[in-house]
Structure 1
Amino acid sequence: MAFIRHAVTALLILLAAPALAEGFLSAYEDLPLAPGLAEAVGSGVAFDSPGGRIVETYARGSVKSADVLRFYAATLPQLGWTRESDTVYRREAEVLRLDPTTQGRVLTIRFAISPE
């Protein structure tokens, strides 16, 4: 039931403000891509463990880390995530970690979701 609620919320956000997100990550269906990011093809890994779902994927783009983190700080709470820091969010029994790194002008962000 929570999944459906989060999926509907995500859909409503995209319909109400289509310029805000670039779509969703394929490895995690209700985690939006910040503007300027594109998911790294073939980088996603997702599986269920006895303790919960584990997901890891990457996205890249010529954007500033601060802009991407601001996007997630504004967007993720609307999808049920509670912000613990600039790079850590919690929802139900899951933890989302954002790990941005920059090489030159290209930002790579690692999305890691794991059970608490």
Structure 2
Amino acid sequence: MRIFTPLLGALALILALSLGTARAQGFLSAYEDLPLPPGMTEVAESGLSFDMPNGRIVEAFARGPLRATDIIAFYAATLPQLGWTRDSDRQYRREAEVLTLETQTEGRNVVVHFTIAPE
């Protein structure tokens, strides 16, 4: 029984972490594999995406009644599953791209500004 209890705890933790991507609200239209946390919606027509010789630049915004810390925690759990490596709480790298997350409180909502640019 002593082995069984820690095993159940470990399985619960693995399950909780693996559900991060599965519970995503949707994905940004400007960047096809960047998920949105539950409760967040993309700000319509706010995104832009264009290719440059050294890579692409993508900007998008999402808004929702969440706390900034919960949004940052969502991405900390989800982005590594999608191949992103964490540089800091708000910056990730994948291949030759850098993703930056900026948050701003607007009334009861938090707005997230996503920027993806070449290194």
Please classify the TM superposition score into its range, dividing by the shorter chain length. Answer: 0.7 to 0.9
2:45 corresponds in structure 1 to 42
Equivalents in 2 of 1:72, 1:17: separation in Å? 9
Unaligned runs of 5+ in 2: 1-17
Q: What is the deviation of 1:17? A: 6.4
Name whichever structure is richer in strand by fraction.
2
Match of 2:64 among 61, 76, 88: 61
Normalised by the size of structure 2, how large is the TM-score? 0.81
**Corresponding pairs, count:** 102
Larger radius of gyration: 2
SS in 1 for 2:110: strand
Report deviation, 1:104: 2.1
Percent identity between the two aligned chains: 60
Counting only pairs closer than 5 Å after superposition, residues 29-108 of structure 1 correspond to structure 2 as 29-108=32-111
TM-score, L = length of structure 1: 0.83
Q: How does 1:21-32 map to 2 (within 5 A)?
A: 21-32=24-35
Q: Deviations over 1:48-79 (max 9, x none)?
A: 00110100000000110000100000000000
CA RMSD between the two structures: 1.6
- Give the C-alpha shift of residue 105 in structure 1: 1.4
Equivalent residue for 2:113, pick from 107, 110, 114: 110
